[in-house]
Chains A and B, each alone.
Chain A
Amino acid sequence: MIVKNKPGLFQRFYLLEALKGLRITIAKVFQKKVTIQYPEERREYSDRFRGMHYIKSVNGVENCTACMLCPTVCPAECIHIEAGEREDKEKYPVKFEIDALRCCFCGMCEEACPKDAIKLSNIYEMSQTTREAYDKEFLMEQRGHK
């Protein structure tokens, strides 16, 4: 649809229109501001937010059985697991590393996991001072999620 907005003689004078515009801008001054003052205030995210991974553990033992489903499904190939065997012949991950720089936070590892071991938390501040990948020890920290 073509909207024909032909200004009348009065509008083409432009001065009154400018005054109307000034009224709109001054009204904005008194409206509520949308700024979130970051370190003090934080944005509220939903529980379905996909942030930093963690490995769920029960009584200090990880749920993971090193079934390799998550590195298989991972499109970014950022999960590296080395499987091992415990005293009681149970399979467990000796190494569990996530290269967070490669991760695209699609959450498919979480969906694929049969043991409810790898999960995505609400944490979105992931900056580190070293270039090392997130290792098992780091991922095992529960940080009070879910």
Chain B
Amino acid sequence: MDTLLSVLSANAELVITAVKAVLVAVALLQVVPLMVWLERRGSAVMQKRLGPNRIGPLGLFQGIADGIKAVFKEDNPPAHVFKFYYRLAPVVALIPAYMTFAVIPFASSITIGGITISFQVADLNVGFLYIFSVASLGVYGIIMAGWSSNNKYSLLGSLRSSAQMISYELSLGLSVVGLLMIFSSVRLGDIVRQQGEVLMQLGPVAIPKWGFFVQPVGFLIFLVSAYAETNRLPFDLPEGESEIVAGYHLEYGSMHFALFMMAEYINMTVAAALTVTLFFGGWQMIPGLPALHQFLVGHFSLVGLAADGLRVLFEFGSFALKTAFFLWLYVWVRWTLPRFRYDQLMDLGWRVMLPLALVNIFVTGVLIYYKVV
């Protein structure tokens, strides 16, 4: 026992990172059933229905029931598929989705016993470039699924999906260049820390230097591209009941299908978290919370670890709330906007979003040159 403890303390850095990685992976896994519940109940209430409300309080355990059902379903691949790639594809789609969350900071740092723990699995110096590069690996899973299914509808669905993801990746990448020019860093930790500064003072209201306030057009392009990247409505072209049935996961059943769903929901979560981190101050507390934190610290005269712990809790709460809002926005937009036709989608991507992103970069450059921002 003593030797184990000494080994652990000698490799404290490693142990902490491992614990963080496991925690984030498990937490991300919990978002999926919650998001499925939000999607179904949210869709229901917007259509004046009730939605699933039988299993657990408010129907919250519906996701667990669905998961159990998916696990126990017979896994019966059709005879005409390429078995190896057919089984590999859902995993290839899921793993990049998981990996991307690694660089997103969900709270600032805390110091326990001389060791500073930053709440971020890996503070890579390539920052959000890592997210973009890993997220585009997810396309391989989709292409594999479509091709190995040996079905024309699956192949067409995967082609559509990959073409859409590749075209919108351009504007997604370009939309954050303006942000990069202003914060002069791609490290998400640095970007969030800089967003804590005050941009301007309007009477009693201090507007923080959130990405949204310095790059409103960039935010807009980013949001729309993120919707296209995650294949969500109004850009859910990979699925089309009347044309290509279910798209790339047409031949999938049981847990294999559920893995695709998980990948999709985790991608959505990462996109929402990234939106928050880049444009809405990440773990910076939402207005009102700093004052409450100050009050609580003063009232209970908290010092040291207790005060820091409370601060981290508030920061994580702010991050979670902001992310939850953007996840809700996915559902909200889904039932508001009609979907695009495929040519309209490409038109929007190449002829509106791309030039707009370029103009945004140019204008930001000019503003920085004249020291406005």
Question: A residues touching B (Cβ–Cβ < 8 Å)?
Answer: 15, 18, 21-22, 24-26, 28-29, 31-35, 37
Chain A's closest residue to B54 (CB) is A37
The answer to whether A28 and B45 touch (CB under 8 A), given A18-B336, A21-B337, A22-B332, is yes
Q: With contacts defined as CB atoms under 8 Å apart, how many contacts are there between chain A and chain B in the complex? A: 34
Tell whether B47 is near chain A: CB-to-CB under 8 Å.
yes
Nearest 4 CB-CB pairings of A with B: A35-B50, A21-B336, A25-B336, A29-B45
Describe A's contact surface by its main secondary structure: helix
Q: Is residue B333 within 8 Å, beta carbon to beta carbon, of the partner chain?
A: yes
What 13 additional pairs, Cβ within 8 angstroms, besides A18-B333, A26-B46, A28-B45?
A15-B220, A18-B337, A21-B337, A22-B336, A25-B332, A25-B335, A28-B46, A31-B48, A33-B48, A33-B49, A34-B49, A35-B48, A35-B49
Q: Is there contact, CB below 8 Å, between B336 and A29?
A: no
**What are 22 residue pairs bridging A and B, where the CB atoms are less than 8 Å apart in the complex?**
A15-B220, A21-B337, A22-B333, A22-B336, A24-B336, A25-B46, A25-B332, A25-B336, A26-B46, A28-B45, A28-B46, A28-B48, A29-B45, A29-B46, A31-B48, A33-B45, A33-B48, A33-B49, A33-B50, A35-B48, A35-B49, A37-B50
Give every chain B residue within 8 A of A33 (Cβ-Cβ).
45, 48-50
Evaluate contact between B48 and A34: CB separation under 8 angstroms: yes
CA distance A28 to B49 in the complex (A): 10
Q: Give Cα distance in the complex from A29 to B38, angstroms.
A: 13
Residues in A neighbouring B335, C-beta threshold 8 A = 25
Is there contact, CB below 8 Å, between A26 and B332?
yes
- Chain B interface size band reads 10 to 19
Give B216 Cβ to nearest chain A Cβ, in Å: 11
B 214-238 to A, binary, CB cutoff 8 A, 1 in contact else 0: 0000001000000000000000000
| Residues of B close to A34: CB separation below 8 A | 48-49
Mark each residue of chain B from 318 to 338: 1 if its CB lies under 8 Å from any CB of chain A, else 0. 000000000000001101110
Please give the distance in Å from B366's CB to the nearest CB on chain A. Answer: 23
Bound form: Cα–Cα A37–B51 in Å: 10
| CA distance in complex: A33, B45 (Å) | 7
CB-nearest residue of chain A relative to B51? A35
- Shortest beta-carbon distance from A120 to chain B in Å: 31
CA distance A34 to B48 in the complex (A): 6
The complex places the Cα of A22 from the Cα of B336 at a distance, in Å, of 6
Q: Which residues of B contact A29 (CB under 8 A)?
A: 45-46
User: How many angstroms between the C-alpha atoms of A25 and B45 in the bound complex?
Assistant: 9
- Within 8 Å by CB of A28, from B47, B50, B333, B337, lies B47
Q: Which residue in chain A gives the minimum CB-CB distance to B220?
A: A15
Listed residue (A24, A26, A37) with the most chain B CB atoms within 10 angstroms of its CB: A26
CA of A6 to CA of B29 in the docked complex: distance in angstroms? 47
Which chain A residue has the least Cβ–Cβ distance from B352? A14
Residue of A nearest to B50 (CB): A35
Q: How far is the CB of B97 from chain A (nearest CB, A)?
A: 27
Chain B residue nearest in CB terms to A27: B46
Write out the residue numbers on chain A whose beta carbons fall within 8 Å of the beta carbon of B45: 28-29, 33
A16 to B313, CA, bound (A): 36
Please state if A32 and B46 are interface contacts (CB–CB under 8 Å): no
Q: How far is the CB of B57 from chain A (nearest CB, A)?
A: 16
Contact partners of A18 in chain B: CB under 8 A: 333, 336-337
B337 contacts across to A, CB distance below 8 A: 18, 21
Q: Output the least CB separation between B356 and chain A (Å).
A: 12
For chain B, residues 36 to 84, give those with C-beta under 8 angstroms from any C-beta of chain A: 45-50
Complex: chain B residue closest to A31, CB-CB: B48
Residue of B nearest to A23 (CB): B336
The residue of chain A having its C-beta at the shortest distance from the C-beta of B334 within the complex is A25
> How far, in whole Å, are A28 and B332 apart by their CA atoms in the complex?
11
Residue of B nearest to A20 (CB): B336
B235 CB, nearest partner CB in chain A, Å: 13
Q: Which residues of A contact B49 (CB under 8 A)?
A: 33-35
Closest residue to A29 on the B side, CB-wise? Answer: B45
Bound-state CA distance A21–B333 (Å) is 9
